[in-house]
Amino acid sequence: MTLRDSRVVATFMKTLGAPLAQQAQVVAMEESKVDDNQSELDCLVAKKYKPVALKVRPVLSELPDRYRIKRHIIGDPLAGMPQLPTHPPEFTPKGRYTQERMEKMDAGLEPDFLWPEERKLMHNVIREQNEAFAWDDSEQGSFKEEYFPPIEIPTIAHVPWIEKNHPIPPVIYDKVCKIIKRKIEAGVYEPSNSSYRSRWFCVIKKDGKSLRLVHSLEPLNKVTIAHSGLPPATEELAMHFAGRACNGVLDLYVGYDERVLAESSRDLTTFQTPFGALRLVTLPMDWTNSVPIFHDDVTYILQDEIPEFTMPYIDDVPIRGPLSRYELPGGKYETIPENSGIRQFVWEHFVATNRILQRMKYSGGTFSGPKTILCANTITVVGFHCSYKGRMPTSDSIGIITRWGPCEDITDVRSFLGTAVRCRNHIPKFISIAAPLYDLLRKGRDFHWGPVEQQAMDELKEAIRNCFPIRKIQFLSDQPVVLSVDSSWRAVGYYIY
């Protein structure tokens, strides 16, 4: 970024009134590669968090029967599932899993974690289940309508809205047109002539090379009858995969595009483009009910694998490996009887992975090929690294905290503590260390940032920088569970081990 660009961005951020700590990417609807040969885009977008008071709330009302979500998978999803070979053959391309894609997958593996025979087994699983993956829009799946009937958007009586769209910046105009064309070709957009018009805009994905189209559906959300479902808590989810012998991660390919929207509801999503008025054919990502509906879809498909082997989080499907690596004396591992080159825990993990892929393929869904991690020592789940050692905050999360400068006001203090508290379970005496900062939040107290507050921040940063991994308590273990109470005049707490 040039000096001139930096000044433009700084001016833009100042105009928004957004402190660095409060900036975030806009929740995205769609992602598309702009140009594989382009290293960065010629623009940058920042967005201030929307205050709670300004957020649009859906309508809390009884849901008419016609809008009930129906799901019914017929038959046995595991019928015809490919069996894992105990002596996997050398790789040969099949279907979508080409030689080039295999080489990219192989290059992305953790060095020295999988043994050679285990790598061959992994490639065999992907090869035989290649229809469960998509590497581009032409391969994207869709949940079968006989199992998942199209979604109707439940709304109250309202007047159609017409919102004028902001012009597309000239520097990204051609790129945006290419994205829209690809979505039309993929069947995600179709022509519309309704009286509704919603805004849309683009944001840059964090990789600096991809654009996302965001559909601003606030008028629709305002008249929608709410679905009150929630995905699992992130704390519980991350801990579920801590301390396992290995793990994997699957990500549905543009997940919301895999659930079809009823034709009677599509007009509500109409937006104006250089190609005329279009509407969404699939579940809108920015619609208020999309998250709980899609999360329930995925959990329904994988219900027989929950909680032992997976715990889906909307469109992310982490795969949980065995609890033990079956270590033997001398640094060796237990292997399967048929092949001494495949460890028992890796074999068990791929057996479960094969079933999960089969269930999703049977339902019509597809996982993103480029984002797939089938078997690894460490995976990232909702902002935490999960490995055999336990759960740890990611280096990015730690870096955000350790690079934080002195707080300028109460809002900045709240932002810092709200970010740091995610590491609370990893730090002994967290509240005692952070006490001077919490004191600043007391009602009626004037804000003053001095040496005491700065020292508390520095100590908290250092503790987070050196925090330790934690594991889930094994309540079924023969060892007793110990409850310790940690109390003082300032705070009351406890910990279990």
Helix (H, G, I), strand (E, B) or coil at 170: helix
| Phi/psi at 148 (5° precision) | -130, 85
When pLDDT is cut at 50, 70 and 90, the band that residue 489 belongs to is low
Comparing 8-17, 64-73, 120-129, 259-268, which segment has the lowest mean pLDDT? Answer: 8-17
Question: Which residue in 356, 347, 412 sits closest to 49, CA to CA?
Answer: 412
pLDDT at 203: 84
Q: How far apart are CA 322 and CA 308, in angstroms?
A: 9
At which residue do the structure tokens 């590491």 appear?
423
pLDDT at 470: 84
Q: Strands 133-134 and 367-368, how do they pair?
A: parallel
Q: How far apart are CA 63 and CA 77, in angstroms?
A: 31
Comparing 16-30, 236-250, 345-359, which segment has the lowest mean pLDDT? Answer: 16-30
Domain 394-496 grouped into CATH 3.40.50:
no
CA dihedral of 185, 188, 189, 195, whole degrees rounded to 10: 170
- The answer to whether residue 19 scores a pLDDT higher than 50 is no
Its pTM stands at 0.82
At how many degrees (to 10) do helices 395-402 and 410-420 cross? 150
Asked whether the beta carbons of 456 and 434 are under 8 A apart, the reply is yes
- The answer to whether residue 126 scores a pLDDT higher than 80 is yes
- The answer to whether residue 5 scores a pLDDT higher than 80 is no
Per DSSP, the chain holds a count of helices (H) and strands (E) of 13, 22
Q: Which two tokens stand for residue 243?
A: 């301390």
- Residue 18: DSSP 8-state: -
The larger pLDDT score, comparing residue 37 to residue 134, is at 134
Instruction: Provide the strand spans (E) within 37-181.
Output: 47-48, 133-134
Section 299-311 average pLDDT: 96
Amino acid at 244: R
When pLDDT is cut at 50, 70 and 90, the band that residue 90 belongs to is very high
What are all long-range contacts of 330-333, with beta carbons under 8 Å and residues at least 24 apart? none
Give percent above pLDDT 70 in the chain. Answer: 87
The larger pLDDT score, comparing residue 11 to residue 286, is at 286
Residue 164, classified by CB atoms within 10 Å of its CB into exposed (0-12), middle (13-18) or buried (19+), is: exposed
Please name every residue paired with 339 in a beta bridge, in sequence order, or none if there are none.
336
Comparing 140-154, 461-475, 483-497, which segment has the lowest mean pLDDT? Answer: 483-497
pLDDT in tens, 199-221: 998 888 777 778 888 899 999 99
1-388: what fold? Alpha-Beta Plaits (3.30.70)
Section 118-133 average pLDDT: 97
Comparing 8-17, 193-202, 346-355, 460-469, which segment has the lowest mean pLDDT? Answer: 8-17
pLDDT at 118: 97
Q: How far apart are CA 315 and CA 283, in angstroms?
A: 13
Section 55-82 average pLDDT: 91
Amino acid at 470: I
pLDDT at 491: 66
SS3 string, 377-391, reads: CCEEECCEEECCCCE
Domain ranges of the chain: 1-388, 394-496
Residues 6+ apart with CB under 8 A from 48: 16, 17, 18, 22, 23
Helix (H, G, I), strand (E, B) or coil at 206: coil
Same fold for the pair 1-388 and 394-496: yes
In sequence order, which ranges of 277-339 are alpha helices (DSSP H)?
290-301
